[in-house]
Chains A and B, each alone.
Chain A
Amino acid sequence: MLNLTLNGLEISVEKGTTLLEAAKFYGMEIPTLCSDEALSPYGACRLCLVEIGTGNHSRLVSSCTYPAREGLTVRTHTERVVQARKLLLELYLATCPSSKTIQDMASKLGVTKVRFKQKHEECILCGLCVRMCAEQMQGKAIGFVKRGIKRRITAPFAKKSEDCRLCGGCMYICPACQARCQGPQEKSPICNACLNLSAPCLDYFEEAMCYMDPCVACELGTGRKAKAQS
């Protein structure tokens, strides 16, 4: 067992526990967009930041990826942490405003104003779908491509992947997909969320580029039928 200090509390956890797991176990709530108990930690969303160390040497780390170490001092809600979280959430709202999850989280932290230019991204690149596909479904049908600001999630060559088994796990776990599906955009192969049961995809896009072709939602909905009738 490892002994550490969490928000002033002397605690002990098993070796291999992450700081996020430890905090959760002791009932401290830390917001996060990219972690899931069933998947490996990734550290992409940066919302689960905590402050480790003391005095001038303290720094912020993502608690989902940082392993508990003997003697570590951890604080989950210092001013520095909260300031960073709030600004990050403001950035999330400015980037991907239509996600219900993000909106709720922002309102909980009292972020009510966005001072940045408004963008309308559908994906926050948290990578949950990629890990879901690879780790739980052994699929590797989708993954990250490119880097920096051009980074995207897609299937190889932006075409329907042969490795995709249409399980829909990627959609199930997506935190940004809580908004209605807007249909596939011509330039991107992913239509985000086909939770919409009257999917417009196949009506509008003769050569649907959705990597979920045939899309689960579309299959259930009217899209396919409409096409069959025409």
Chain B
Amino acid sequence: MNVLHSRLKTTQDLEKLREQLRKNREEKSTYLAVCGDTGCAVWGSKTVKNFSQECLEKKGLAGTIGLKFTGCLGLCESGPVVIVFPQEIFYQKVQEDDVEEIIEKTVLKGEVIERLLYNDPVTGEKYIYARDIPFYKKQQRTLLASNWKNDPTSIEDYLALDGYEAFEQALTKMTPREIIAEVKNSLLRGRGGAGFPTGAKWEECYEVHADQKYIICNADEGDPGAFMDRSLLEGNPHSVLEGLIIGGYAIGAREGIVYIRAEYPTAVAKVRLAIAQAEELGLLGENILGSGFNFKVSVSIGAGAFVCGETSALVASVEGRVGEPRQKPPHLAERGYLNKPTVINNVESLANIPYIIRHGAVSYCLTGTEKSKGTKIFSLVGKVLNTGLVEVPLGMTLREIIFEIGGGIKNGKQFKAVQTGGPSGGCLPASLLDSPTDFEELSAAGSMMGSGGMIVMDEETCMVDIARYFLRFLEDESCGRCFSCREGISRMLEMVEDITRGESSPGQLDLLRELAHVVKDSSLCGLGQTAANPVLATIRYFEDEYLAHILEKRCPAGVCRELIQFSINEELCQGCGLCLKKCPGEAIRGEKKQPHAILGDKCTKCGICLETCKYNAVLKS
């Protein structure tokens, strides 16, 4: 949509434009929403969208029936997802051959195409409407709701769906103090990980007098296995931008920066476009809507360093320096970007702001637990059936999220643990499935909320291996300044690797614990202070698994390479020779039609034989 708009000079101009856009939207209430998020894009949603476009044009329907290439629709596992509006009929795994039929039957005649419906693996039922699917039914999609209705490249869509209304309200009807009070009353807590109250952060910066202040949106989503922020920026960039502008107005900043990691090129493009659109309409720039408030926003791109998620390191990175954290105090509210008072908010925190301003803190507080209000977006991934992006009220139990929304574990395996909080978090066992997910509960259990990655693990995941995985990640991602963090992580890794190789002793486990506590206690920044969590949490809940490695030299999950062996069951082996052909190490011998055997000393334990065998004759022990 390339409608050229003139700059809006007053709030009346904005209202007039919004009315017009709403009317336009009503006239085109029938439309196809094709998910354009990375997951679905890889499954081929771009082709589906292009083909739909062609189809509509060919049939002369382009003027009456809309087509939106939206942000994440949630159920990544079943991509490409297409939803037909206004009925909200949900189609999954749509390919280009299906497009014409969808338009002919569903769009024009309202008929449902059975074949494309979602078949719930748990209930075995087919569902027509998205709202009925168990995956969506249990969720409370406050922030993600507009992803369905919104073309993220269109500010018109956002405006028609009440976008920038909160900003207008804040600008014309509220003082900065009132905005801060509202945010404080909403008890909104930072969604980036630590859960610091957003309102208090703003207030601290508001109180400081300075000629220039900055507000930075932290979109350096570095936790592996988390993609909430990417999906928000790609699916509804204006909501984050609106939150950022309101925050800037509240603290008295005239400049905002969106710091995005380079691994997210699409998000960068969408945010840049959103900024350009807001500038064109005069929602950014000088004298916004005639209020006298000036605000501009720029984009800064990360260069690949997990530690830059830490606020002082982030500032160093935006300034162009090495991303090393520094001692706080002084806090960023006193000395931040370019030594000026600065507030840094996470993407999801900012996306909550427009809702809070529009609906009020009281309404916001209806959702959540006593100390954790509102909803939280999680990326539910790993060995779970319904991989995807879910938004739930804070306080929902892990069981509800993993088993009711997520549909339980893949391939009928047993649940073992769920990892939250990224490299700073921990793994929680089945016994804690009924604990509610809020900031306090997760911390008390030895994990943390983190940014919202939720990785489900089954019986085939080795918890010692998971500890090793995170330590390896952190060994590389630590900035290396603190001796305790740099050397401590490396030594913890050394010890855990010994355990995975069966070269450890019970005394080493005690030393590992001792070291983990010291690393936690004596490091400078959040990265080092939480680096031991993956180790401590896995030892706490899965000590028997550690002991199996140490005492019995056995990896119960069959993951640790040094402790497993591959062999061929002679009775089951048909001598087809497939494994022999595929084995990259030439470690399999045998005559055609005769049982084969694996040569232990040559076997690299890649597991290809196990994957390729059609007769289940390859055993792992």
Contacts and interface: CB of A to CB of B under 8 A. Distances in A.
Interface of A: 42-46, 49, 59-62, 65-67, 69, 80, 83-84, 87-88, 91-92, 94-95, 115-117, 124-127, 144, 146-151
B488 A91 contact: yes
25 contacts: A43-B481, A43-B482, A44-B481, A45-B483, A46-B523, A59-B521, A60-B521, A67-B330, A80-B521, A88-B518, A91-B484, A92-B483, A124-B483, A125-B481, A147-B305, A147-B307, A147-B477, A147-B478, A148-B474, A148-B477, A149-B487, A149-B490, A151-B479, A151-B480, A151-B486
A149 B475 contact: yes
Interface in B480-524: 480-484, 486-491, 494, 511, 514-515, 518, 521-524
Contacts of A116: 491, 494, 511
B309 to A, nearest CB: 14
Contacts of B515: 87, 91
Contacts of A125: 480-481, 483, 486
A130 B430 CA distance: 50
Nearest to A80: B521
B322 interface: yes
B320 to A, nearest CB: 15
A60 B523 CA distance: 8
B329 A144 contact: no
A149 B478 contact: yes
A88 B475 contact: no
Nearest 4 CB-CB pairs, A to B?
A151-B480, A65-B327, A148-B478, A46-B484
Contacts of A115: 511
Nearest to A59: B521
A115 B488 CA distance: 13
A88 B515 CA distance: 9
A61 B524 CA distance: 7
Interface in B294-337: 305, 307, 322, 326-327, 329-330
Contacts of B476: 147-150
A204 to B, nearest CB: 30
Contacts of B330: 67
Chain B interface residue bracket vs A: 20 to 34
B21 to A, nearest CB: 48
Interface string B460-485: 00000000000000111111111110
Contact of B483 (A44, A61, A67): A44
Q: Which of B326, B488, B491 has the most CB of A within 10 A?
A: B491
Contact of B494 (A84, A117, A127, A146): A117
Q: Which of A95, A117, A149 has the most CB of B within 10 A?
A: A149
B483 A88 contact: yes
Q: Secondary structure at chain B's binding surface: helix, strand, loop or mixed? A: helix
A83 B518 CA distance: 8
B524 A43 contact: yes
B518 A67 contact: no
Contacts of B484: 46, 84, 88, 91
A7 B474 CA distance: 35
A216 to B, nearest CB: 28
A146 B490 CA distance: 15
Given A92-B483, A144-B480, A147-B479, A84 B327 contact: no
A94 B322 CA distance: 28
B480 A148 contact: yes
Nearest to A151: B480
A151 B322 CA distance: 12
Contact of A148 (B486, B494, B511, B518): B486
Contacts of A49: 521-522
A43 B330 CA distance: 15
Contacts of A83: 518
Contacts of A87: 514-515, 518
A87 B330 CA distance: 29
A80 B522 CA distance: 10
Given A46-B484, A67-B330, A144-B480, 8 more contacts: A45-B483, A62-B327, A84-B518, A94-B491, A95-B487, A116-B494, A147-B478, A148-B476
Contacts of A88: 483-484, 518, 522
A146 B327 contact: no
A149 B492 CA distance: 12
A194 B363 CA distance: 70
Interface in B339-370: none
Contacts of A67: 329-330
A115 B507 CA distance: 10
A151 B514 CA distance: 25
Nearest to B493: A149
A45 to B, nearest CB: 5
B214 to A, nearest CB: 22
B588 to A, nearest CB: 36
Given A117-B494, A144-B480, A84 B521 contact: yes
A77 to B, nearest CB: 15
Contacts of A65: 326-327, 524
A131 B322 CA distance: 15
B66 to A, nearest CB: 48
A186 B305 CA distance: 29
Contacts of B514: 87
Contacts of A126: 483
B366 to A, nearest CB: 31
A26 to B, nearest CB: 21
A32 to B, nearest CB: 11
A125 B324 CA distance: 14
Contacts of B486: 125, 148-149, 151
B80 to A, nearest CB: 39
Given A87-B515, A147-B305, A60 B522 contact: yes
Nearest to A126: B483
A130 to B, nearest CB: 11
A62 B489 CA distance: 19
B215 to A, nearest CB: 25
B483 A148 contact: no
A159 B464 CA distance: 42
A163 B467 CA distance: 44
A84 B489 contact: no
Contacts of B487: 91, 95, 149
A154 B307 CA distance: 22
Nearest to A121: B487
Nearest to A41: B327
Q: Which of B474, B483, B515, B524 has the most CB of A within 10 A?
A: B483
Nearest to B494: A117
Given A115-B511, A148-B475, A46 B522 contact: yes
